[in-house]
């Protein structure tokens, strides 16, 4: 049994923000029903690997292990099907443009009138209230409007977005946290509630330390400059003979062995580097010195040397290197999807380990609407009613 065994989630979300929150709950044991538009589905189904490979990584990554039902929520008949389904659910997840579900008569108040115990989670881009509440957007909007992009790159260079859907992911994790807290509160009160999460708000929360610095100093923390603008230590990446390696600080007890390891023992006596934390100027000097040293050896050779010296480091790796690391598999961070057509496909595993209720990544990807008739019969619809709904375009 998973931690959420017995919990039913209706995932009416799109792309990443809502669906990935529901996917995490699926890995925790919840029964997640994906609600999609007939004939089209979640837009994520249309973002393919390539023009010739129509498999959809965005959809697969955030929707494994879910059942799929097609309902046109815009039609009165579809609205009623969704409300009947909501009566059996514990959680609803959606991240349509703000106000969309309310306009369809499927907002929190509408659903709670039928099921007061429902936890109703909505994801927006800019927040549920205010002048931007109904503006559309996507991950890039969260990165930009939340301030993240202003922190990337180097001084004098152009900022660049992060190369993953980081705003969506952080918002999905925040949404899952809010849902789980609301379920705990419902256990005390017997009543559900609405949970609102946004891309921008989640981005700001993810930068809590940096925004605290701004609040205290009135200044932007600065650009990453190969490390972090607030950590003035040996905390940055440096080039090696064949790649890059990250140095994660050198505590006082490791300082002498560090300088020997990098074949610069004389720098142990350099007064500039006598402390663990430096001024920004001395940090730049240190980066310059180490950037001369590390190209002498390959990343793998440096990993061996630094590991033997007990130093703090990590190689800068691509996905292929990560997948080849047995440690990632042993901890369950990577898993295998066994698909009847595609064979074995490497996928992300569950990032949380639970001793008594283990996480189990989904092992199937539903075709659009493949479970519609089964789910409707579970709700008590007979075949004549299902046929009528299909004729009306509601399912």
Q: Which residues are catalytic?
A: 168
Q: Are 375 and 85 in contact (CB under 8 A)?
A: yes
What would the two tokens of residue 62 be? 């955030």
- Backbone phi and psi for residue 332, each to the nearest 5 degrees, phi listed first: 80, 10
Going by the DSSP 8-state scheme, the letter that residue 17 receives in this structure is: H
Question: What's the CA gap between 186 and 133, in Å, rounded?
Answer: 27
- Backbone phi and psi for residue 144, each to the nearest 5 degrees, phi listed first: -75, -55
User: Strand ranges (DSSP E) for 211-274?
Assistant: 235-239, 244-248
Angle at CA of residue 210, ends 208 and 213, nearest 5°: 110
Picking from 42, 53, 65, 23, the residue whose alpha carbon sits closest to that of residue 365 is: 65
- Backbone phi and psi for residue 67, each to the nearest 5 degrees, phi listed first: -90, 150
Say whether 376 sits in a helix, a strand or coil: helix
Q: Are 86 and 118 in contact (CB under 8 A)?
A: yes
The per-residue DSSP string of 289-324 comes to HHHHHGGGS-HHHHHHHHHHTT--EEE---HHHHHT
Cα–chain center distance at 12: 17
Task: For tokens 């046929």, name the residue.
Answer: 387
Q: Are 185 and 161 in contact (CB under 8 A)?
A: no
Going by the DSSP 8-state scheme, the letter that residue 243 receives in this structure is: S
Picking from 38, 18, 14, the residue whose alpha carbon sits closest to that of residue 393 is: 38
Measured N-to-C along each axis, helices 199-206 and 208-217 cross at an angle, to the nearest 10 degrees, of 70
Picking from 116, 161, 301, the residue whose alpha carbon sits closest to that of residue 293 is: 301
Which residues fall within 8 angstroms of residue 276, CB to CB, at 6 or more apart?
233, 249, 250, 251, 252, 255
Say whether 28 sits in a helix, a strand or coil: coil
Task: For tokens 């300088």, name the residue.
Answer: 259
């Amino acid at each position: 049994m998973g931690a959420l065994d017995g919990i039913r989630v209706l995932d009416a979300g799109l792309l990443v923000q809502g669906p990935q929150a529901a996917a995490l709950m699926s890995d925790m044991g919840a029964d997640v029903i994906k609600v999609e538009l007939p004939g089209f589905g979640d837009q994520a189904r249309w973002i393919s690997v390539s023009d010739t490979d129509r498999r959809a990584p965005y959809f697969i990554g955030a929707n494994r292990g879910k059942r799929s039902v097609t309902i046109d929520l815009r039609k009165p008949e579809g609205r009623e099907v969704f409300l009947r389904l909501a009566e059996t659910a514990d959680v609803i997840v959606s991240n349509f443009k703000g106000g969309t579900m309310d306009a369809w008569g499927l907002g929190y108040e509408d659903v709670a009138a039928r099921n007061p115990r429902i936890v109703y989670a909505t994801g927006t881009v800019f927040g549920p209230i205010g002048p931007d509440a109904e503006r559309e957007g996507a991950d890039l909007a969260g990165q930009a409007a939340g301030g993240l992009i202003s922190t990337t790159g180097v001084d004098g260079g152009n900022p660049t977005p992060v190369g993953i859907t980081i705003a969506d992911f952080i918002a999905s994790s925040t949404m899952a946290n809010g849902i789980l807290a609301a379920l705990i509160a419902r256990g005390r009160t017997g009543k559900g509630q609405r949970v609102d999460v946004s891309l921008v708000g989640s981005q700001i929360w993810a930068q809590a330390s940096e925004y605290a610095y701004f609040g205290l100093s009135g200044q932007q923390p600065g650009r990453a400059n190969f490390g972090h603008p607030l950590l003035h230590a040996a905390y940055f990446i440096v080039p090696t003979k064949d790649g890059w390696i990250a140095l994660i600080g050198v505590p006082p007890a490791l300082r002498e062995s560090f300088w020997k390891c990098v074949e610069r023992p004389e720098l142990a006596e350099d007064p500039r580097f006598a402390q663990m934390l430096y001024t920004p100027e001395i940090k730049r000097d240190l980066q310059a010195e180490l950037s001369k040293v590390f190209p002498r050896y390959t990343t793998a050779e440096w990993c061996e040397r630094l590991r033997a010296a007990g130093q703090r480091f990590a190689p800068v790796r691509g996905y292929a290197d990560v997948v080849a690391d047995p440690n990632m598999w042993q901890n369950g961070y990577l898993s295998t999807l066994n698909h009847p057509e595609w064979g074995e496909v490497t996928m992300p595993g569950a990032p949380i380990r639970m001793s008594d209720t283990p996480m189990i990544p989904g092992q199937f990807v539903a075709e659009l609407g493949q479970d519609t008739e089964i789910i409707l019969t579970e709700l008590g619809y007979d075949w004549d009613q299902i046929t009528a709904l299909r004729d009306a375009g509601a399912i």
